[in-house]
Structure 1
Amino acid sequence: MTKQALVFLSNGCEETEAVTTIDLLTRAGIKVTYASITEDKKVECSRGVTILAQKTFSEVDNLDFDVIILPGGLIGAENFRDSQQLIKKLKQAHQAGVVIAAICATPAMVFQHHNLFPNAYMTGYPTTKDTIKNWKSDRAYFDAQYKLITSQGPGTSIDFALKIIDVLLDKKAAAEVAAQLVLPQGIKSYQ
């Protein structure tokens, strides 16, 4: 059965983190849906790139996914934090055993702010270190107990996507996607 991923987008989200994740998961054969957290499919990202979401929040709210992914970007993370419908969806998904993944400012701005994973280990944008209770310095980290994947920022977007592939599928699938890329030194190739 094909794994299903949901990438939420919000105005101000980090385009590199969103698009890299969407692309690499698609390469792995994961069915990716990207949806705006509002009812407007047009999302203006942090550097002015406009992404046209496939779906709106209401179109995905009652659907099931294997992973829910939140890119970062300061304004994007604030918009995620302030979306009560998104926070409700994350809580429900976590209770149902869905993997939750976030990168950059989002772990601190959303997970810590709403105390969603109070005892989970996570990473995030380095300047948020003091706001994350159980900080990990890894480029991408999976806390298996809480089914939580976090990563640090735009430069770790490939690490983040490969970690999601590893968790959803396996190391072999992550290695196959990594082999298609010319990875810079420091990124785990899963070989």
Structure 2
Amino acid sequence: MKESALFLAEGFEEIEAITVIDVLRRAEIPVKTVSITPSLQVKGAHGVVVEADTTFETVTADDFDFLILPGGMPGTKHLDENKKLNDWLLAHVGRGGRVAAICAAPSVLGRLGLLKGKKATCYPGFESMLLGADFTAAPVEVDGNTVTANGPAAAIRFALSLVTAIKGESLAREIAAAMQV
């Protein structure tokens, strides 16, 4: 099984990143945290400093299954402005790869045209940035190779949706039960 990559930018939403990492690792799904800055140390939107597993310069796009974007501000803005990440997302989806974004981060996928014709959700106020998407107000949307969620409160459901996509619904239910969700 290929690893998934969760990208960390300065100002990421801590709940959305750490919850996904935690749930995927409980499911024994390999996930690598990738700093898009030159430093392994990345500060979240609420001042929590996280040490990433690696930096962007040391990995290649072919290494990963899901490319995962946590939201938060200004983290989403930094993800959106990162040309290398944008190129990766476009190439990854072009090869049939899977992407996931939560909170404001679906706007990154939307701006790149990766949500055209797909059901998608996001944090309130970012709907207009989901270009070509069929916006829903659902906490989580799964449409083909794309998973989106609307914010911090949906982080566990978002992560469990990734478990379902990677290892199946049975394991996702088992993890949810163990976490008393």
Aligned-partner residue type, residue 11 of structure 1: E
Structure-2 residue corresponding to 1:117 = 115
Deviation at 1:15, TM superposition (A): 0.5
1:69 is paired with a residue of what secondary structure?
Answer: strand
- Within the alignment, does 1:50 sit opposite 2:49 as a pair? yes
* 1: CA distance, partners of 2:85 / 2:141: 23
Moved more, 48-57 or 128-137: 128-137
Distance 1:163 1:13, change over 3 A: same
Determine the C-alpha separation between the residues in 2 that align with 1:157 and 1:3.
Answer: 22
Root-mean-square deviation (CA, aligned residues, Å) is 1.3
Q: Matched residue pairs, number?
A: 179
Say which of 164, 167, 170 aligns to 1:169. 167
Secondary structure, in 3 states, of the residue corresponding to 1:111?
A: helix
Q: Is the 8 A contact 2:99 2:146 kept in 1?
A: yes
CA deviation vs aligned residue, 1:36-92 (integer Å, no higher than 9, x gap): 012211101000000010100011234421111000002110000000000001111
User: Could you list the runs of 5+ residues in structure 2 that have no partner in the other structure?
Assistant: none
Q: How is 1:135-154 mapped onto 2 (pairs within 5 angstroms)?
A: 135-144=135-144, 147-154=145-152
Q: Aligned to 2:58, what secondary structure does the other structure show?
A: helix
Displacement of 1:25? 0.3
- Alpha-carbon separation, structure 2, partners of 1:36 and 1:54: 8
TM value normalised by structure 1: 0.89
1:99 maps to which residue? 98
1:179 aligns with 177
Q: Deviations over 1:135-163 (max 9, x none)?
A: 0222111111xx10000111100000000
